[in-house]
Amino acid sequence: MKSAAGGGVDVSIDALGIIETCQNSIRSLKKRGRHVQIGIPAGDQAAVPIVMDLVMAKELEIVGSHGMPAGDYGAMLGMVAAGVLKPERLVTGTVPLEQAGDVLAAMSQYEVIGVTVIDRF
């Protein structure tokens, strides 16, 4: 990821919430980057070890997010309607419902980039 991004990225997001994705997300940052943790670590993944010397050396910022307040949905959806936010750019594939299990299983291989949407039932 770092080489593909020219030495690191400004912002990384872990939406899965497991140790490996969180740590890899933080390692992908360049100096003064920001990591946003959206996925909630639980069970045996709850205590995520963070390489604090890397955080200090690169002056990284670690931010936790637990969703968006419902009161902000209107403004956000207005930005989508106005074309300011383009969530469709995150979609890299669509599948019928019967293939959803295969997509979920493939997530553990970390080979899929983007979001796969179930579009047929």
Indicate the pLDDT class of residue 15, thresholds 50, 70 and 90.
confident
pLDDT score of 5: 59
Which of 109, 108, 114, 120 shows the shortest CA–CA distance to 92?
Answer: 114
Q: Is residue 71 part of a domain?
A: no
13 and 54, same domain (yes or no): yes
- Give the residue-averaged pLDDT of 18-34: 94
Task: Report how far Cα 79 is from the mean position of its chain's Cα atoms.
Answer: 21
95 and 48, same domain (yes or no): no
**How many distinct structural domains can be found in the chain?**
2
97 and 56, same domain (yes or no): no
90 and 56, same domain (yes or no): no
58 and 90, same domain (yes or no): no
How many percent of the chain have pLDDT more than 70?
Answer: 93
E strand residue ranges, 15-80: 29-37, 61-64
pLDDT of 110 higher than 90? no
Q: Indicate which CATH number applies to the domain containing 41.
A: 3.40.50.720
Whether residue 92 contacts residue 112, with contact meaning beta carbons closer than 8 Å, is answered with: yes
Q: Is residue 4 part of a domain?
A: no
For 34, the domain range is 9-64
Q: Is residue 108 part of a domain?
A: yes
What type of residue is 6? G
**pLDDT tens sequence across 58-103:** 999 999 988 788 899 999 999 999 999 999 998 998 999 999 888 8
- Give the residue-averaged pLDDT of 37-59: 91
Indicate the pLDDT class of residue 41, thresholds 50, 70 and 90.
confident
Q: Is residue 55 part of a domain?
A: yes
pLDDT of 2 higher than 60? no
102 and 59, same domain (yes or no): no
Q: Is residue 76 part of a domain?
A: no
